[in-house]
Amino acid sequence: MAADLLARLKSVNRDEVYSNAWLTIPSSWTAEIMARSGFDLCTIDAQHGLMDYQTGLSMLQAIGNTKALPLIRVHDNAIPNLMKWLDAGALGLILPMIDEPEQLKQALSACYYPPAGNRSHGPTRAAFVTHPDYRYHVSGDLLIFAQIETASGLEQVEAIATVPGLKGLYVGPYDLSISIGRPKLADLSDPVLWSALVRIAAAAQKNELLLGIHTSDTSRIPDLRALGFHIFSTGSDSHLLMDSAKKLDQELRG
């Protein structure tokens, strides 16, 4: 299992399309259901999800029994927080609210061992589930994304994209649309928001970065693909449960 996990991690590239399950429910059982449903990636949303560290750890363990790669969208970019999730076995992090390059450099320093960064050595679970020599065989391949979701991040995205150690950009269109003053949330038909996506995609392409987005508008995925996006999240486990429950209730009443 560990060898397969590493092979999948090392093979993630810009030429493939990946589905990303978004996990907000604090449960290892629902995490396992999502991970076994065929998703390539499973992101535990520790920022807006309802889990604490201990529950997040159990969710990482559940995902680890599947073929999905486990990621964490961290609740903040504090150095001890990033190190702790990586030591727990997350194979990637989505760093929220990245506004400028220096902020990103500080966060990335916690993700890589010297000389590339200042991460403290202690991959307690990470080495156990991947490779005994985690520092040399795993840590350099971690999927570290900067989330572009603020007006400042958008204005500095070209500089952000050049920071060494960054593996990808991940767009949060909900916060981004608010931050740049758009009237609707994540409206991909909004030309101003779409122009922002074009700019972000160009920065990612120029620097050969992975490129993901969270969107509920699946009809625009072909257009997003044409821009260079290739990692897609839509909705979340909570939304899937709510939508299915409402549909079932309507069917029963009908």
pTM of the predicted model over 0.95: yes
Q: Are 213 and 232 in contact (CB under 8 A)?
A: yes
Q: Are 153 and 196 in contact (CB under 8 A)?
A: no
Distance CA 83, CA 201 (A): 28
- Domains located in the chain, CATH noted: 2-253 (3.20.20.60)
pLDDT exceeds 90 at position 1: no
User: What residues act catalytically?
Assistant: 48
The pLDDT tens digits of the residues spanning 131-162 come to 999 999 999 999 999 999 999 999 999 999 99
Residue 254, pLDDT score: 84
Mean pLDDT, rounded, of the chain: 97
Residue 169, pLDDT score: 98
The pLDDT tens digits of the residues spanning 164-185 come to 999 999 999 999 999 999 999 9
Helix residue ranges, H only, the chain: 2-11, 28-35, 53-63, 79-87, 101-109, 126-129, 134-137, 151-155, 157-160, 173-179, 191-206, 221-227, 237-253
